[in-house]
Amino acid sequence: MDLMADCFYISLKKPTFAGKITNLMSRDIIGRALIDFHNGNYSEDIVTNSSLGDKDKIPLPYLFRNYNAMPIIEQKALDLCKGTVLDAGCGAGSHSLYLQSIGLNVTALDNSEGAVIISKSRGVNHVIHSDIYDYSGTKFDTILLLMNGIGLAGQLNELDRLLMHLKELLKPGGQILLDSSDIIYMFDKDDDGGYWVPDNGKYYGEVQFTLKYKGLKSDPFYWLYLDYKRLEQVAGQQNLSCKLVCEGTHYDYLARLCAQP
């Protein structure tokens, strides 16, 4: 998900956000939830409904976790960061805060206005409100896309466009660090060990979601879950090398993409 800039006064002692922010947050469910949690108004989590028929929750405390509470894949990605870093889809700023703490120069970017506000109030030094496709002009040594950040592509036929844009934001020798999951495991197996995947012309990792929180409901949107072989294939089309760094405990993985000379 994504972020914004200095629209509201934030007290250095105890940030509170109210008034005109109400209308703003009606279209920014993630931001509204982050602000509620940060202000001590945590009473429920974000509920997600997907085209796979699943109903799940995004636990808000998890979005504010520190390095020690992060899964191994995220820790490994943060350990591999170098130089100037773009934290794309920074959320509450947890990854950016850690990278700042070890001395790296981080730009946190998100399209959620509430996420930008909270990242700044938590101490992230450089936060930008922008859609990833609208952001340009600065190049980085590392672009970080965690919590299945490659899902920003939405659908498989948009992955080329996303990788092309990210490549334009890289310095020579730069890297893209991303994690995703192969969700083939969610489909039924047949007698031959294969999977029953709907024959609807879509890639099985294109999942449509809606979010619900405190009476608000988002418009439906697509989020992409990508198997590693498909990532490797599309990255190659963009002249990006692709390396599997490590695998997680539940069909997830961390990959490193680099522009080739």
The number of domains in the chain is 1
Q: What is the pLDDT of residue 13?
A: 26
Q: What is the pLDDT of residue 202?
A: 87
- State what percent of residues in the chain have pLDDT above 90: 78
Q: What is the pLDDT of residue 197?
A: 73
Instruction: Name the pLDDT band for 133 (thresholds 50, 70, 90).
Output: very high
Instruction: Say if 2 falls within a structural domain.
Output: no
Q: Are 255 and 231 in contact, with CB atoms under 8 Å apart?
A: yes
Q: Is 1 helix (H, G, I), strand (E, B) or coil?
A: coil
Q: Cα 45 to the chain's mean position, in Å?
A: 18
Q: What sign for the dihedral angle of Cα 77, 169, 83, 123?
A: negative
Torsion, CA 236, CA 242, CA 247, CA 248, rounded to 10: -80
The pTM score is: 0.88
Q: Which domain holds residue 76?
A: 21-259
Instruction: Say if 65 falls within a structural domain.
Output: yes
Instruction: Name the pLDDT band for 54 (thresholds 50, 70, 90).
Output: confident
Query: Considering the chain, what is the average pLDDT of its residues?
Result: 88
Q: Which three-class secondary structure string do you get for 55-102?
A: EEEECHHHHHCCHHHCCHHHHHHHHHCCCEEEEECCCCCHHHHHHHHC
Instruction: Say if 97 falls within a structural domain.
Output: yes
Distance CA 83, CA 242 (A): 20
Q: What is the pLDDT of residue 193?
A: 64
Instruction: Say if 241 falls within a structural domain.
Output: yes
Instruction: Say if 204 falls within a structural domain.
Output: yes
Residue 223 sits in a domain whose CATH number is 3.40.50.150
User: Within 123-186, where are the H helices?
Assistant: 159-168
Instruction: Say if 145 falls within a structural domain.
Output: yes
